[in-house]
Amino acid sequence: MKVGICDPIASEGIEILKKEDFEVVDLSELPKEELPNHVTDLDAIIIRSATKVRKEIIDAGKNLKVIGRAGVGLDNVDVEYAKSKGIKVINTPGATSISVAELTIGLLLAVMRKIAYADREMRNGAWPKKKCKGIEMYGKTMGIIGIGRIGREVAKRAKAFGMNVIYYDIYHLDESTEKELEIEFRDLDALISEADVITLHVPLVPETKHLIDRERIAKMKDGAIIINAARGGIVDEDALYDALKSGKLYGAALDVYENEPLKESKLFELDNIVLTPHIGAQAEEGQTRAGIEVAKKIVKVLKS
């Protein structure tokens, strides 16, 4: 069996494939447009987010049985077309949940305590102590929208900081899970008006596009905070800009954007927003878990 590595994965994952005597072909250094010429005799390919698996690659991969994505989102794979050709598409949904949850808390602390702003100012020669009075997480209410794998990990961490946690999701958690996590359900409107911090952990689907729009921001508490480490487009960036500029919101943090990579934005003018370049899953441990999980799943498919 031949497995092509289109984007680098953890070496632990490669070892698993080699132990099965699979031939591992490193294609990660190739220009992406050349990939179709190199997949014809492969049984599987492994990707992360950089490689886009569209019709061209799928058609060229005459032997392909499985496409493995080390990570969660499958936006970069034409899943339906692959399936129509009998190719399985697998991913590693839980491997990086803790990485994303930790980044979410990091972003919240950075906003509340103005950490990124302070760092920027000091490097410019300032000592902005007076401008850096922040607020605490303790005692505030966090509203989690989307209580899936990542949302639950965020809830646990927020509780450890002494926050009250409420959530909204299309699925209600069962009572024992709510009790265990010490969180309460609210409908969306109630969550929006009650939370001091709103953090998003839903997928981007038509129903969640601009879920946080101008109207909903207006209904939030004055001085509230929005964190989006889920997908760009769930928060309306124009409405967010206006609310940050006017002081309606205390602050915000984004890890994901409507257009990535984000190279130019009026958001860059603002000091009360923290921006990171889609690094939620970029933690060593999460990547290792994803590499191992994708390799194990590829082995399972190829051996069946």
Interacting residues with ligand NAD (CB under 6 A): 72-73, 93, 96-97, 100, 146-151, 169-171, 201-203, 205, 207-208, 229-231, 255-256, 278, 280-281
- Tell me which residue has its CB nearest to ligand NAD: 148
Residue 278 catalytic?
Answer: yes
Report CA 79 to chain centroid distance, whole Å.
19
Extended beta strands in 162-289, E state: 164-168, 183-185, 197-200, 224-228, 249-254, 273-275
CB of 169 to ligand NAD, least distance (A): 4
Per the residue annotation, which of 231, 258, 289, 293 is the catalytic one? Answer: 231
- Residues in a beta bridge with 226: 198, 252
CB of 57 to ligand NAD, least distance (A): 22
Q: Smaller CB distance to ligand NAD: residue 5 or 202?
A: 202
What's the rounded Cα separation, in Å, for the pair 109 and 29?
A: 37
β-pairing, 66-69 vs 23-26, is unpaired
What's the rounded Cα separation, in Å, for the pair 273 and 257?
A: 13
CB of 282 to ligand NAD, least distance (A): 7
Using omega within 30 degrees of 0 as the cis cutoff, is the peptide bond preceding 261 cis? yes
Among residues 147, 137, 149, which one has the least CA distance to residue 167?
A: 147
Residue 207 catalytic?
Answer: no
Q: Smaller CB distance to ligand NAD: residue 50 or 205?
A: 205
Q: Smaller CB distance to ligand NAD: residue 39 or 147?
A: 147
CB of 97 to ligand NAD, least distance (A): 6
Per the residue annotation, which of 12, 23, 260, 269 is the catalytic one? Answer: 260
Alpha helices by DSSP H, the chain: 11-19, 55-60, 79-84, 97-112, 115-123, 149-160, 175-181, 188-194, 214-219, 237-246, 284-303
Residue 260 catalytic?
Answer: yes
Q: Smaller CB distance to ligand NAD: residue 82 or 204?
A: 204
* Active centre residues (catalytic): 231, 260, 278
